[in-house]
C-alpha cells in the first residue's frame, strides 16, 4: 500500500507533509488534537543525513515546549551500507537520534511509531523502537536480519535457525514474532482515522507510565521471551 494512501486513511483531517528523498515530516489533526509527523518512507537506507534530519525535527518539536504528540513513520531497510557512513561513525548518529527520541519521551510528549513497510535492524531501533508504542500494519516486514544473514554472523546453520524460529520468536523475523516479543504494541489489520487519536489519548491520560519500559513483562505474557524477565529480576535481586 502506498504511503500517500496509508497516511490519508490514518489522517483524513488537515494532513500536510513533505517528502525529501526518504525523509518525511508534516502535521495532521486527530481526535486527540494536532500531531507532528516525522520519519522515513520508501524503505529508506538510513544514513547520517536522514538520522540527523529526524533528530533535528524532534529537537525542534521539544523546543516548542507544548507536549505536541509525535507520530514516527517507519519504513526503513536499516542503516545505509556504505564504507563512508561507517567510517564517519554512523553508530554515533544513531545514538544521537535515539537520545533525542528518549528526551522527547522524558519531556512527556505522547508519541508512537507506525511501521508502514519495512522495519529493519539499527534503522528501526534508532527511532521507531524508541517510541512509547509501536504499531505495525499486518503487511509490514519487521526483522533484525533474515535467517541467511543471521547464519553467516552466528555460524549457526540456517537449517538449525529455521528450526529454532518455529519455537522461539527471538530467532524469527516477522511482525507476529515482534508482537510476541513485546516490541510491537498492536498489529493493525484495518486502517481508520480513530487509531492514532485513541492511542494518543490513552497516552495522554497516563503519560508517566510510559516512562517505564515494560516490554520484557509483555513478552513474557505473550510467550515471546520465556526467560528474560526472570533473569533480569534475579540480577536485580542479587
Whether 227 shows a pLDDT value over 90: the answer reads no
Q: Is residue 30 part of a domain?
A: yes
When divided into structural domains, the chain yields a total of 1
Which residue in 138, 109, 134, 137 sits closest to 124, CA to CA?
Answer: 134
Q: Detail the DSSP E strand segments found in the chain.
A: 13-20, 23-30, 33-40, 44-46, 70-79, 111-120, 133-137, 141-143, 186-188
Identify whether 223 is part of a domain.
no
pLDDT at 1 exceeding the cut of 70: no
Residue 55 lies in a domain: yes
Alpha carbons 17 and 219: distance in angstroms, whole number: 35
CATH number at residue 137: 3.90.226.10
At residue 137, does pLDDT exceed 70? yes
For the stretch 73-114, pLDDT in tens is: 999 999 998 888 888 899 999 999 999 999 999 999 999 999
In a domain, 218, yes or no: no
Between the two ends of the chain, the Cα-to-Cα distance in Å is 50
Q: Across all residues in the chain, what is the average pLDDT?
A: 93
Is residue 113 assigned to a domain? yes
Distance, in Å, from the CA atom of 219 to the CA atom of 214, rounded to the nearest integer, reads 9
Whether residue 234 is contained in a domain is answered as: no
Radius of gyration of the chain (CA): 18
Q: Is the pLDDT score of 146 beyond 80?
A: no
Is 217 a domain residue?
no
What residue numbers bound the domain in which 128 lies? 3-212
pLDDT in tens, 11-25: 999 999 999 999 999
Whether 232 is in a domain gets the answer: no
Amino acid at each position: 500500500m502506498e504511503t500517500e494512501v496509508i497516511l490519508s486513511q490514518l489522517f483524513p483531517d488537515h494532513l500536510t507533509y513533505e517528502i525529501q528523498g526518504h525523509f518525511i515530516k508534516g502535521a495532521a489533526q486527530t481526535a486527540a488534537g494536532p500531531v507532528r509527523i516525522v520519519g522515513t518512507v520508501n524503505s529508506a537506507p538510513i544514513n547520517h543525513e536522514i538520522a540527523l534530519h529526524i533528530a533535528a525535527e524532534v529537537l525542534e518539536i521539544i523546543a516548542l515546549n507544548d507536549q505536541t504528540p509525535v507520530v514516527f513513520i517507519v519504513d526503513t531497510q536499516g542503516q545505509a551500507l556504505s564504507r563512508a557512513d561507517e567510517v564517519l561513525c554512523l553508530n554515533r548518529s544513531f545514538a544521537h537520534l535515539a537520545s533525542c527520541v528518549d528526551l522527547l519521551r522524558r519531556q512527556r510528549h505522547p508519541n508512537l511509531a507506525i511501521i508502514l513497510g519495512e522495519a529493519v535492524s539499527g534503522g528501526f531501533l534508532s527511532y521507531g523502537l524508541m517510541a512509547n508504542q509501536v504499531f505495525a500494519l499486518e503487511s509490514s516486514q519487521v526483522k533484525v536480519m533474515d535467517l541467511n544473514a543471521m547464519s553467516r554472523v552466528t555460524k549457526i546453520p540456517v537449517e538449525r535457525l529455521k528450526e529454532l524460529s518455529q519455537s522461539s520468536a527471538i530467532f524469527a523475523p516477522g511482525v507476529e514474532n515482534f508482537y510476541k516479543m513485546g516490541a510491537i504494541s498492536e498489529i493493525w489489520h484495518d486502517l481508520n482515522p480513530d487509531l492514532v487519536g485513541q492511542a494518543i489519548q490513552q497516552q495522554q491520560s497516563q503519560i508517566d507510565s510510559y516512562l517505564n519500559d515494560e516490554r520484557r513483562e509483555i513478552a513474557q505474557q505473550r510467550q515471546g521471551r520465556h526467560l528474560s524477565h526472570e533473569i533480569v529480576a534475579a540480577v536485580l535481586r542479587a
